Amino acid sequence: MLRMKDNGEAEESILPPDYHTHTFLCKHAEGAPVDYAFHGVRRRLPALAATDHCPMPGGYDPEHRMGIDFFPEYVRLVETAREVSPIPILFGIEVDYVPEYAEEVKDWVQQQGFDLVLGSVHFLDYWAFDDPAQRYLWESADVAGVWRRYFGMIRRMVEIGLCTVVAHLDLPKKFGRRPPPRLQKEIVLPVLDVIADRGLAIEINTSGLFHPVGEIYPSPEILCWAAERNIPVTFGSDAHTPERVGSAFDLAVRLARECGLRAMTIEPSRRS
Ligand SMILES: [Zn+2]
Ligand SMILES: [Zn+2]
């Protein structure tokens, strides 16, 4: 993306790093970190993070994540990409908050030396509420009740210190199902207070633009409430194919600026 200087010359715009990308290891994405880096350079991104789905104990949801046996391969892929990439690559992970495994997963995550830990809730009990194959369950759902349960889980995830950045904060809107604004405020504000209190960041995730809701996660209203609490943001495409890296970041940057948000950046470790 180019913009014009005052003297009419073209100037490169500064896009933020893409801190949310996946790899083929999670079985529902394509490409390796080196492919994401290649496309990140093409899109003039300053850095990116590999944040594939975290292995879970007990074989939980094995079809959407690498098994623990493949974690060394993930480490190797990130290290290999770092050797050849002209832009820094953070060693990250996207961790699911599942109450019965949370402490075990937290201990394991803390031992791995990640640069970035995204925290997500994709499941309410065994309902993958954001999975298109299970979308039909929304038809009989109490929407406000689902939102309350979801944000209750986000709150507990933050309170136990599982992550450093909360990913796609209003994910339950994916298929366009959300409570009225006044109720959303009642549900979301206390959780933002806890996020601010714990010094965490939230993510501006552009993948919602490509989902039925057609809107960045989280909504402009939630982003403005976050700005009022001085919560920093990171930017993530949630790319599941390398071509999607950094997608719609110009929109995301404009939104962050309009809401008065400050961006958080992270220095990569010298792991490799
Ligand atoms: Zn996610
Ligand atoms: Zn993701």
CA of 9 to the centre of ligand 2 (A): 37
- Does residue 189 form part of some domain? yes
Q: pTM (2 decimals)?
A: 0.93
- Does residue 8 form part of some domain? no
CA of 11 to the centre of ligand 2 (A): 32
* Predicted confidence (pLDDT) at residue 154 exceeds the cutoff of 70: yes
- Does residue 265 form part of some domain? no
**How many domains are there within the chain?**
1
Give how far Cα 130 sits from Cα of 98, 121, 135, Å: 15, 10, 7
The CATH number linked to 145 is 3.20.20.140
CA of 80 to the centre of ligand 2 (A): 21
Coil, strand or helix at 272: coil
CA of 235 to the centre of ligand 1 (A): 13
Euclidean distance between CA atoms 164 and 179, whole angstroms: 27
Greater confidence (256 vs 267) lies with: 256
Coil, strand or helix at 210: helix
Is the Cα torsion angle 119, 121, 126, 128 positive or negative in sign?
Answer: negative
- Does residue 57 form part of some domain? yes
At residue 81's C-alpha, the angle toward residues 245 and 16, to 5°, is: 35
* Predicted confidence (pLDDT) at residue 231 exceeds the cutoff of 80: yes
Q: Which domain holds residue 40?
A: 16-259
- Does residue 266 form part of some domain? no
- Does residue 272 form part of some domain? no
DSSP string, 178-209: ---HHHHHHHHHHHHHHHHHTT-EEEEEGGGG
CA of 118 to the centre of ligand 2 (A): 9
* pLDDT tens string 22-78: 998 898 989 999 999 999 999 999 999 999 999 998 878 888 898 899 999 999 999
* pLDDT tens string 183-213: 999 999 999 999 999 999 999 999 999 999 9
